[in-house]
Structure 1
Amino acid sequence: MALSEIDRSLLERCLAKKPRAWEDFVDRFMGLVIHVINHTAHCRSVLLASTDRDDLVGEVMLSIVDNDFAVLRHFRGQSSLATYLTVIARRVVVKKLIERHQAASLGSLSGEPHTNDAPFEQRIEDREEVDRLLQSLDGTEAQVVRMYHLEGKTYQEICRTTGMSSNSVGPMLSRVRNKLRSMPQQS
């Protein structure tokens, strides 16, 4: 698909630094960037906290405006602007995920706990906390929590074992974590 007239105009306005051009650009493509971040993290079995997602959105947007919109200036118009931005966003997100994963791996070499494939949303390290959570769960939820937090399994391993779809593991773990947060703390 070629560059649409709407996107061509928006691109020209951004490069000319017209008033409200950047705001219009963000309004038009923010959903796309968030989708790319979520999809990329999901494909890499990374559970993102909302603050991590916000950080990645900032990294993608910074890469677009960096060096006087160099990324936009390099756009050749041979595809839609959305397709081009999808590729740019994915590259930035993958690079940042790899950097964080490597930082986590280096931490494990220095004796700090290694979080396997979850450099953002940390696994629950406190066994008592996991046990307390497991008491309030049953069935598949308990099995997924046990596999992820106690056995260190990846999303793919959990899917293979439980038969769940890969789109279900992350949301289930998020719901369970929210349950834990809402449970009264024991002293």
Structure 2
Amino acid sequence: MPLRDFDRQLLDRCLKHEPGSWIEFVDRYMGLIYHVINHVAYARSVTLSAADVEDICAEIMLRLIDDDYAVLRRFKGQSSLPTYLTVITRRICVKELVKRQREASLGHARAHRAVVMAEDEEDLAEPIASAEEVEVMLRQLSGREAEVVRLYHLSSLNYRQIGKQLGIPENSVGPILATARRKLREAAEERSR
């Protein structure tokens, strides 16, 4: 779908900091952003409270205006503006959900470890075994695949950041990640037999 004149004009006005343009932008696209957040959460089987949705939405809006609208300035007009915003919103939302899940699990792990240490230090071997299991699984992948999985899932880097860090094209990160996931899934199925 091509970029509509109205969207181009609204975007241009926002980038020029014309009075009222950002409010108009927010009014026009806030519903889309909420929809994408809820859809991503549903697709990942994550339950979000209204406050969580508001927080993620605020983070998305901050990223849109950050660095003098850098994200919006990168829009090339090769698709519709709503399509571009959907992709940006989804990426930020996924990253936020992963970050929140990791923080929650780390917080739980810290609390659990404190209780375990008070009761019996020998039980600490379980989290270490889990980390060792992850390493064993990653050893089943090629070096490049394992590194992409580590950077994406453990470091929460996006495709561009991974491509830059590994010196590979950004558009090759997705296929590498898909292949690695397939191999890990097949290995897990083998072990469960």
Give the TM-score, by structure 2 length. Answer: 0.57
Query: Following the alignment from structure 1 to structure 2, what is the Cα–Cα distance between the partners of residues 66 and 54?
Result: 18
- Stretch moving more, 99-108 or 55-64: 99-108
Unaligned stretches of 5+ residues in structure 2: 114-193
1:53 to 2:53 alignment: yes
1:96 to 2:87 alignment: no
Shift, 1:111, TM fit = 2.9
Amino acid aligned to 2:88: I
Query: Following the alignment from structure 1 to structure 2, what is the Cα–Cα distance between the partners of residues 21 and 112?
Result: 49
Shift, 1:14, TM fit = 0.2
Question: 2:79 is matched with which residue?
Answer: 79
Shift, 1:112, TM fit = 4.4
Query: Following the alignment from structure 2 to structure 1, what is the Cα–Cα distance between the partners of residues 6 and 47?
Result: 35
Shift, 1:73, TM fit = 0.4
1:22 to 2:42 alignment: no
| Overall identity of the aligned pairs, in % | 54
Unaligned stretches of 5+ residues in structure 1: 114-187
User: Which of the pair is proportionally richer in helix?
Assistant: 2
Question: 1:119 is matched with which residue?
Answer: none
Question: 2:10 is matched with which residue?
Answer: 10
Amino acid aligned to 1:3: L
Question: 2:170 is matched with which residue?
Answer: none
- Size of the aligned set, in residue pairs, is 113
- Stretch moving more, 102-111 or 11-20: 102-111
Q: 4+ residue stretches of structure 1 with deviation over 2 A?
A: none
Query: Following the alignment from structure 2 to structure 1, what is the Cα–Cα distance between the partners of residues 87 and 76?
Result: 14
The alignment partner of 1:76 has SS state of: coil
Amino acid aligned to 1:63: R
Query: Following the alignment from structure 2 to structure 1, what is the Cα–Cα distance between the partners of residues 48 and 3?
Result: 32
Shift, 1:107, TM fit = 1.7
Alpha-carbon RMSD: 1.2
Deviations 1:126-169 (A, max 9, x none): xxxxxxxxxxxxxxxxxxxxxxxxxxxxxxxxxxxxxxxxxxxx
1:106 to 2:106 alignment: yes
The alignment partner of 1:45 has SS state of: coil
The alignment partner of 2:3 has SS state of: coil
